[in-house]
């Protein structure tokens, strides 16, 4: 079977096109993998601890009397059913305080959530939807508090 020059050019073009498509798909998957983080409540973490290399978000309320300030902050996040110990090195947001809603992003390792980012509510009425849903499921949601 003899291949003409046009057939060879088409095969090369199709191969290059498929290669570019594969590269674009790989870049998209890698890019969204780093941005994707799954939300968990303390109860969900207690029931099924994630693997140490899973980047995730944990949300709930900062447990009263649990915050130790310093270069490394430690506190507990609760959904009123379970609590998870959190450590964070850095400056916490101005609105961060005990009894308030918080979302932390990081890794759960050796029974401690190692946060690399802390997000606090931004006004008196804001609670992340996931935290509100978890509190409602636990029967602890108080819309006016």
CB within 8 A of 107, min separation 6: which ones? 52, 53, 54, 55, 56, 113, 114
What's the domain range around 18?
A: 1-36
pLDDT of residue 103: 92
Establish if 145 belongs to a structural domain. Answer: no
Specify whether 46 is located in the same domain as 78.
yes
Specify whether 30 is located in the same domain as 48.
no
pLDDT of residue 11: 92
Establish if 131 belongs to a structural domain. Answer: yes
Q: Is 3 helix (H, G, I), strand (E, B) or coil?
A: coil
**Domain total for the chain?**
2
pLDDT tens, 64-109? 999 999 889 999 999 889 999 999 999 998 888 898 889 999 999 9
Confidence band (pLDDT; 50, 70, 90) for 136? confident
Specify whether 102 is located in the same domain as 90.
yes
Specify whether 59 is located in the same domain as 86.
yes
pLDDT of residue 130: 73
Specify whether 117 is located in the same domain as 82.
yes
* Mean per-residue pLDDT, 5-32: 88
Taking the model in full, what pTM does it have?
0.63
pLDDT tens, 111-127? 999 999 998 865 555 56
Q: How would you label 20-37 residue by residue, b for 16+ Cβ within 10 Å and e otherwise?
A: eeeeeeeeeeeeeeeeee
Specify whether 78 is located in the same domain as 105.
yes
Confidence band (pLDDT; 50, 70, 90) for 132? confident
Q: How far is CA 101 from the centre of its chain?
A: 15
pLDDT of residue 1: 65
What token pair was written down for 28?
């998209």
3 state SS for 89-127: ECCCCCCCCCCCEEEEEEEEECCEEEEEEEEECCCCCCC
Establish if 113 belongs to a structural domain. Answer: yes
Of 60 and 133, the one with more pLDDT: 60
5 DSSP assignment = H
Specify whether 18 is located in the same domain as 86.
no
**Residue that is written with structure tokens 């961060």 in the block:** 96
């Amino acid at each position: 079977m003899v291949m003409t020059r046009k057939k060879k050019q088409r095969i090369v073009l199709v191969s290059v096109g498929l290669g570019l498509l594969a590269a674009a798909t790989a870049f998209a998957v890698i890019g969204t993998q780093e941005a994707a983080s799954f939300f968990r409540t303390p109860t969900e973490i207690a029931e099924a601890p994630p693997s140490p290399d899973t980047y995730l978000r944990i949300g709930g309320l900062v447990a009263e009397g649990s915050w130790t300030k310093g270069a490394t902050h430690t506190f507990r996040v609760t959904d009123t059913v379970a609590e998870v110990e959190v450590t964070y090195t850095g400056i916490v947001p101005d609105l961060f305080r005990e009894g308030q809603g918080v979302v932390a992003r990081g890794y759960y390792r050796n029974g401690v959530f190692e946060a690399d980012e802390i997000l606090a509510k931004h006004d008196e009425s804001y609670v992340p939807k996931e935290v509100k849903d978890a509190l409602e499921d636990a029967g602890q949601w108080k819309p006016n508090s």
